[in-house]
Chains A and B, each alone.
Chain A
Amino acid sequence: MPEQLTGAEALIRSLEHEGVEVVFGMPGGAILPAYDPLLDSSIRHVLARHEQGAGHMASGYAHATGRVGVALVTSGPAATNLLTALQDAYMDSVPLVAITGQVATTAIGNDAFQEAHTWGMSMPATKHNELITSADQIPDIIREAFHLASTGRKGPVLVDIPKDALAETMTWHRPGEVRLPGYRPAVKGHPRQVKAAVDLIERAERPVLYVGGGVIAAGATEELEQFAEMLNVPMVTTLMARGAFPDSNPLNLGMPGMHGTYAATTAMQRSDLLITIGARFDDRITGNPKHFAPEAKVIHVDVDPAEIGKIRPVDVPVVGDAKSVLHQLIVETERRGPQPDRDEWLATVHEWQSAHPLSYVQDPDGPIQQQYVIEELHRITGGDATIVAGVGQHQMWASQFWGFDEPRRWINSGGLGTMGYAIPAAIGAKAGTPDEVVFAIDGDGCFQMTGTELITAAVENIPIKIAVMNNQSLGMVKQWQNLFYDGRLSQTELSPTVPDFVKFAEACGCVGLRADRPDEVAGVIEQALAINDRPVLIEFTCDPEAMVFPMVPAGGSNDDVILSREDLA
């Protein structure tokens, strides 16, 4: 006999069928029916303190596990709170499914209580979205949402479900095949394009592998390693690709661009061929695109055809998934036999590397430098931790100074630059990978945006660790005011005493620790690592005057890398 379920029961069952193990959310009026069958489900619910937090938790979960993250919230203000997390995930191609409650179909358009036009507002912030109008549609639309979120160029998908559709009864059916005649994401690259790419690589004298987050999204890091070793060419890994290739491998020059290493930025700039894989010529990489890599031909491999040629004209476009195309490139390169000798080019970039390494000075009697904290953290953990950053100076230093050797252990908000990302994303990452040490590296400005999610971490027993780099300022913005607004500091200095981060952590049910001097850094890190039954926050009182270098000012040419404060004099 066909089984009769409510829309809400069908929703929870559909999520179970997708293999969902955890959802991040908060109940409310319109989504109430869905929270009842959740009580009887195997799915864990993590109760966030704000819907933006729930969205970033789902994102952190997706980054850490490679699976689809799920957020479940109500209508109106909950949906608008969630929007930031959706746009963030859209910019960074993070697979999410967001389920929002909606007022009853009979009330839609009437300015009902907690009504917002979620479908319209989320349209430009998602890969796709749907408004359900009856319970029957739920199994197929949830299947479609997971399919869209996790295939092609991954991204967030929102499903808006009115309360009456959740409450009414439907006949349960397993979803059929997803039928989307207009959605056919490319997987394999065109063989002719692959050949043309290898032709260009063979002829290039100064090739650079320009690797973006697409490589991690496609699970293509092993293929990348094989291809890079085969070609023996230098590589740059963008902010979203840190960990796609081991930093310990001498071919990896690190992050290029605005705060990239001199060697990475300059290698691209002098290159005659950029072998671009899953990267998108973001303005933080290219600086002024008119002056970017002027002699370089471009191979561009991307699963999203719209990225190819969007910013930089391309010589060989290859539309396809990074894993499949890298495999094709490996096979074709193997077939051609020995590759040209790249030793001279590698020697040149390594000279740049040794002439202009990333550097900082930790005065033993001076204030704590954030780079020192990051290096100590790496030393003490042996690098075996997942690092989740907020946005700003601490994020850049974490990307620069943490030696990443594995994918999915670096989680941050790249494209949207969402301050406040770290704490909730770390909670999501830890929920997905409970056996890993998950360390949020946050700024004091970022922390104050979403710090109340510490309560979630404590109450839900998700023992993350948090390093708050307290420089008593919105450090990156202050840096720009110092460099480009004659040092006129406008609204970038935060209180040196409020909040008391240690007390804040304790009030939220976490352990609070503090280090004020460099010689206290190692000790508090060790203390924090020894506590695993509760979240631990360490406040590091950091140098408020420190700036991130190297730097290419926004819109500037990547020929003009500012290496240090002395360069500015």
Chain B
Amino acid sequence: MNHVIAVIVENKPGVLARVSSMFARRGFNIHSLTVGPTEDPAMSRMTVVVDGPEMEQIIKQLYKLVHTVKVTEFEPGTAIEREIMLVRVNADPKRRGEILDAARVWEARAVDVGVATITFEVTGAPERLADFLQLMNTYGVVSLAKSGRIALPRDQKSAKKHLKSA
């Protein structure tokens, strides 16, 4: 099962190497890892998707790195999770209309159109991307680029308000 963890680290040179080296050394599998800035320029946020039963050890080993400030594991459904994907599919002129119609339903943007292919950009929850990809596979995926996942916890207050109004 995949687990999503947010790791707030000091924004210092080499911190990504420290984290990835630790994962390699301890034999933990990384499914995806993204790193980028946070609201605080002194800190970076890593979102790591890991596959494995050793979550407790993974979190403890992350904390052991001197530049790790905070580690949070997201329980399923408690975070907003997003990925971005660029997917180039075979688009024979005869089937173009059909493919574009399907893409419209998925809110996939056509970002490049060639003689025989269309490239779509899709953003969203990982499951949505997986479903879109499955659909595009029926036309033939020529190439695929996918980001790692980013995630933020849901704001508990806004979630409650939303429930009340619903």
Contact = CB atoms under 8 A, between A and B. Distances in A.
A349 B21 CA distance: 45
Interface in A121-143: 123-124, 127-128, 131
B69 interface: yes
Nearest to A306: B60
A35 interface: no
Contacts of A183: 66
Contacts, number: 39
B43 to A, nearest CB: 8
Contacts of B56: 309
Contacts of B82: none
A310 B56 CA distance: 9
B73 interface: no
Given A181-B69, A304-B64, A306-B61, A123 B17 contact: yes
Contacts of A308: 60
Interface in A343-374: none
A182 B14 CA distance: 16
Interface in A146-186: 148, 180-183
Contacts of B18: 123
B21 A182 contact: no
Interface residues of A, number: 18
Given A123-B21, A124-B21, A182 B60 contact: no
A305 B21 contact: no
A131 B14 contact: yes
Interface in B1-40: 9-10, 13-14, 17-18, 21-22, 25
A180 B69 CA distance: 9
Q: Which of the four size classes fits the interface of chain B?
A: 20 to 34
A401 interface: no
Nearest to A125: B25
A180 B66 CA distance: 7
A183 B63 CA distance: 8
B67 interface: yes
B90 interface: no
Nearest to B22: A124
B134 interface: no
Contacts of A119: 14
A434 interface: no
A305 B65 contact: no
Contacts of A124: 21-22, 25
B47 interface: no
Contacts of B67: 180, 182
A567 B87 CA distance: 68
A120 B17 contact: yes
Interface centre among B9, B61, B63 (most CB of A within 10 A): B63
Nearest to A123: B21
A120 B21 CA distance: 9
Contacts of B64: 304, 306
A305 B56 CA distance: 10
B25 A310 contact: no
Nearest to A310: B57
Interface string B50-88: 000000110011011111111000000000000000000
A127 B66 CA distance: 8
Given A119-B14, A131-B14, A305 B69 contact: no
A119 B12 CA distance: 14
B9 A182 contact: yes
Contact of A305 (B17, B60, B66): B60
A131 B18 CA distance: 13
A180 B9 CA distance: 11
Contacts of A309: 56-57
A181 B17 contact: no
B66 to A, nearest CB: 5
Contacts of B21: 123-124
Nearest to A182: B69
Contacts of B10: 181-182
Max chain B CB contacts within 10 Å: which of A127, A131, A182, A309?
A: A182
B24 to A, nearest CB: 9
B11 to A, nearest CB: 11
Nearest to A120: B17
Contacts of A305: 60, 63
B41 to A, nearest CB: 14
A180 B10 CA distance: 9
A310 B17 CA distance: 23
Interface string A181-201: 111000000000000000000
A309 B58 CA distance: 12
A555 to B, nearest CB: 18
Contacts of A304: 64
B66 A128 contact: yes
A178 B69 CA distance: 15
A137 to B, nearest CB: 12
Nearest to A304: B64
Interface in A290-310: 304-306, 308-310
Please indicate which of the listed interface residues A120, A124, A127, A148 has the most CB atoms of chain B within 10 Å of its own CB: A124
B58 to A, nearest CB: 10
Q: Which of A131, A183, A310 has the most CB of B within 10 A?
A: A183
A305 B61 CA distance: 9
A521 to B, nearest CB: 45
10 contacts: A119-B14, A124-B22, A131-B14, A180-B66, A180-B67, A182-B10, A182-B67, A183-B66, A306-B61, A306-B64
Given A124-B25, A182-B10, 15 more contacts: A119-B14, A120-B17, A124-B21, A124-B22, A127-B66, A131-B14, A180-B66, A182-B66, A182-B68, A306-B57, A306-B61, A306-B63, A308-B60, A309-B56, A309-B57
Interface of A: 119-120, 123-124, 127-128, 131, 148, 180-183, 304-306, 308-310
